[in-house]
Amino acid sequence: MNIDLHCHCAPYSTCATQSIDELLLRAKEGGIRTLSITNHDTTKDEDLFEKKAVAMGFAYIKGAELGASLAEEGLGFPKGAKIHILAHAYKDGDLIESVMQDVKNGSENAKIKRARGEYIAKRFNDLSLSGLTKQRLIACLVEKGHFIDVGAAKEFFRSPEISDGFALHCLGPKETIDLIHKAGGFATWAHPFRGEHHYKFNEDDVKAILTKLVAYGLDGLECFHSSNFEAGGVDLLRALAKQYGLFETIGSDRHHNRPMPYFSFEKSITASYESEIDIGKIQGGNL
């Protein structure tokens, strides 16, 4: 496999630790030839990424990974349950960036963040944590000795106590897919068995969500991802992609500067998955 349509770099994805240069070096080391960097809810500096990638010999496809709330979909999921939708080969990254920043910085989210900070301040002995960003809150909780390390603090933020109790507003799936299409791109459901905060979906959940997404105009399905192999669902996803006429994509979802093997699921890929993944539909003139 020499295609990676899903990876991240710091500081653009706050959950990533590898720099753009480290990411490109690892991808080159891993034999990747077609690459898309898909940072969370932003298209910032995408022209720089493309310039650097092309200079190193990659065929580059512009990308982003956008969160979408399931709260209003009537499927019975918790308030904080979200999925991620990959945007690829769009023409207007500025439109996506503008909309995502407006959502992130909206008055509703400002109120939720203040309430979250006040709650955490009381939860942990009245610390002065109100008004801080999530990353600064995490750092303070570790500095004050309430969590052993950043990883443990992040798990606290992924818990229902915080992720459901103080769920930030974001676009719904239809709004997200419409935005990607308006920007001239293609929308792919990322790691269908795993939602934000590592919320796990079962087979019935995936089918129910996918039915909604297809009705909203979904273009592709990330059939090859480590969580899909863990769930034993690669064959199911490929069958669903065929059933609904969706293209298949593959992504490492790399966040960190780790040595080879490049894909965390490399050992799980067998001869039965040696497929011709159709990326032609999402190239959009970028190759």
34-86: per-residue pLDDT in tens? 999 999 999 999 999 999 999 999 999 999 999 999 999 999 988 889 999 99
Query: What is the mean pLDDT of the segment spanning 2-24?
Result: 91
| Percent of the chain at pLDDT exceeding 70 | 89
Residue 272: the pLDDT is: 40
Residue 23: the pLDDT is: 94
Tell which wins on pLDDT, 233 or 204. 204
For residue 157, the number of C-alpha atoms closer than 13 Å in the C-beta half-sphere is 21
What φ, ψ does residue 55 adopt, rounded to 5°?
Answer: -65, -25
CB 221 within 8 A of CB 189: yes
Domain residue limits, the chain: 3-104+172-283, 107-163
- Pick from 73-87, 167-181, 269-283: least confident: 269-283
Confidence of residue 30 (pLDDT cuts 50, 70, 90): confident
Tell which wins on pLDDT, 267 or 106. 106
Residue 128: the pLDDT is: 73
Q: What is the rounded CA–CA span in Å between residue 35 and residue 30?
A: 12
Run of H or E residues at 87 = strand 82-88
- Pick from 122-126, 130-134, 245-249, 281-285: least confident: 281-285
Residue 73: the pLDDT is: 94
The mean pLDDT value of the chain amounts to: 86
Q: What type of residue is 58?
A: F
Query: What is the mean pLDDT of the segment spanning 191-216?
Result: 92
CA-only gyration radius of the chain, Å: 19
pLDDT at position 265 over 70: no
In the numeric block, which tokens belong to residue 93? 């990254």
The SS3 of residue 47 is: helix
From the centroid of its chain, how far is CA 16?
Answer: 11
CATH of domain 3-104+172-283: 3.20.20.140
- Pick from 38-47, 96-105, 189-198, 278-287: least confident: 278-287
pLDDT at position 264 over 70: no
Query: What is the mean pLDDT of the segment spanning 194-212?
Result: 91
Confidence of residue 3 (pLDDT cuts 50, 70, 90): confident
Residue 1: the pLDDT is: 54
pLDDT at position 199 over 90: no
In the numeric block, which tokens belong to residue 251? 């992504």
CB 200 within 8 A of CB 239: no
Record the pTM. 0.87
Q: Starting at the edge strand that comes first in sequence, how are the strands of the sheet with 3-4 ordered? A: 3-4, 34-35, 59-60
Residue 286: the pLDDT is: 34
Tell which wins on pLDDT, 132 or 260. 132
Q: What is the rounded CA–CA span in Å between residue 18 and residue 24?
A: 10
Residue 198: the pLDDT is: 67
Q: What is the rounded CA–CA span in Å between residue 163 and residue 105?
A: 18
Torsion of CA 80, 13, 86, 202, to 10 degrees: -40
